[in-house]
A and B are shown apart, each in its own frame.
Chain A
Amino acid sequence: MGDEVYSDLMRDLKEGKYVFTGELEPEKAGDVHEPIEMARDLKGLVVACNVTDNPQSFAYVNSMAASYLIQKETGMECIYQLRCADRNRMALLSDVLGAGALGLKNILALTGDHVSLGDTPDAKPVYDLDSTTLIAMIRKVVDEGKDLGGNEIHNPPKLHVGGAAAPGAANLKAEVAKVKRKIKVGAEFIQTQVVYYTDVLDRFFKELGKVDVPVLVGIFPARTFGQADFFDKYVAGVDVPPDYLENMKKTKEIKDKEKRKEEVDRVNVEFFTEFLEHLKGTPAAGCHMMAVGYPRIIAPLKKVME
Chain B
Amino acid sequence: MIAQEQKPMEEILGYLEGKQKIVVMGCGGCATFYYTGDKKAVNEMAEKLTKEGKAVTKIILPLGISACEIDMSAAFLEKNRKAIENCDAVLMQSCGDGVQVVNEYIENKMGLVKAIYPANDALGLVGGGPTKFKETCQSCGMCELGKTAGICPLTSCGKGLMNGPCGGVRADNKCEIDPDKDCAWVKIYERMEKLGELDKFIEMRDPHEWSKMKRPRLFEIEKPLSPVRAMLGSLPAYLTLLRKPKLEE
Query: Residues of A with Cβ closer than 8 Å to B?
Result: 85, 89, 111, 113-114, 116-117, 125, 127-133, 136, 148, 164-166, 169-171, 173-175, 177-178, 180-181, 184-185, 193, 236-237, 239
B170 lies within 8 A of A174 (CB): no
Given the contacts A127-B159, A132-B163, A171 and B171 also touching, CB distance less than 8 Å: no
Q: How far is the CB of B121 from chain A (nearest CB, A)?
A: 16
A132 lies within 8 A of B204 (CB): yes
A133 lies within 8 A of B168 (CB): no
A169 lies within 8 A of B160 (CB): no
Task: Write out the residue numbers on chain B whose beta carbons fall within 8 Å of the beta carbon of A132.
Answer: 162-163, 204
A-B residue pairs in contact (CB < 8 Å), sample of 18: A111-B159, A114-B158, A114-B177, A128-B207, A130-B162, A132-B162, A133-B163, A136-B204, A164-B167, A169-B169, A170-B172, A170-B173, A174-B189, A177-B202, A178-B185, A181-B202, A181-B203, A237-B168
B204 lies within 8 A of A114 (CB): no
Given A127-B161, A171-B190, A236-B176, 17 other A-B residues pairs in contact with their CB atoms under 8 A: A113-B168, A114-B158, A117-B177, A128-B210, A129-B207, A130-B162, A130-B164, A131-B166, A166-B167, A170-B172, A170-B173, A173-B193, A177-B202, A178-B164, A180-B202, A193-B167, A237-B170
Determine which residue in B164, B166, B207 has the highest number of CB atoms from chain A within 10 A of its CB, and name it. Answer: B166
Chain B residues 229-246 with CB under 8 Å of chain A are: none
Given the contacts A171-B189, A177-B198, A236 and B204 also touching, CB distance less than 8 Å: no
- Cα separation A170 to B168 with both chains bound (whole Å): 10
Q: Is B35 an interface residue (CB 8 A)?
A: no
- Cα separation A131 to B159 with both chains bound (whole Å): 12
Q: How far is the CB of B185 from chain A (nearest CB, A)?
A: 7
A236 lies within 8 A of B169 (CB): yes
A174 lies within 8 A of B185 (CB): yes
A114 lies within 8 A of B159 (CB): yes
Given the contacts A171-B169, A181-B203, A114 and B163 also touching, CB distance less than 8 Å: no
A130 lies within 8 A of B167 (CB): no
A171 lies within 8 A of B158 (CB): no
Can you name the residue of chain B whose Cβ is closest to the Cβ of A193? B167
Task: Write out the residue numbers on chain A whose beta carbons fall within 8 Å of the beta carbon of B171.
Answer: 170, 239
Given the contacts A89-B207, A116-B177, A171 and B165 also touching, CB distance less than 8 Å: yes
Task: Write out the residue numbers on chain A whose beta carbons fall within 8 Å of the beta carbon of B183.
Answer: 171
Given the contacts A125-B159, A129-B207, A170 and B170 also touching, CB distance less than 8 Å: yes
Q: How far is the CB of B169 from chain A (nearest CB, A)?
A: 6
Task: Write out the residue numbers on chain B whose beta carbons fall within 8 Å of the beta carbon of A171.
Answer: 165, 169, 173, 183, 186, 189-190
Q: Is B15 an interface residue (CB 8 A)?
A: no
A169 lies within 8 A of B164 (CB): no
Q: How far is the CB of B129 from chain A (nearest CB, A)?
A: 27
Task: Write out the residue numbers on chain B whose beta carbons fall within 8 Å of the beta carbon of A193.
Answer: 167
Task: Write out the residue numbers on chain A whose beta carbons fall within 8 Å of the beta carbon of B44.
Answer: none
B159 lies within 8 A of A133 (CB): no
Annotate B193-209 by CB proximity to A: 1 below 8 A, 0 otherwise: 10000100111101110
Can you name the residue of chain B whose Cβ is closest to the Cβ of A171? B186
Task: Write out the residue numbers on chain B whose beta carbons fall within 8 Å of the beta carbon of A236.
Answer: 167-170, 176
Q: How far is the CB of B188 from chain A (nearest CB, A)?
A: 8
- Cα separation A237 to B166 with both chains bound (whole Å): 10
- Cα separation A32 to B160 with both chains bound (whole Å): 33
Given the contacts A164-B167, A181-B204, A236-B167, A113 and B176 also touching, CB distance less than 8 Å: yes
- Cα separation A132 to B166 with both chains bound (whole Å): 10
A111 lies within 8 A of B166 (CB): yes
Task: Write out the residue numbers on chain A whose beta carbons fall within 8 Å of the beta carbon of B190.
Answer: 171
- Cα separation A127 to B169 with both chains bound (whole Å): 16
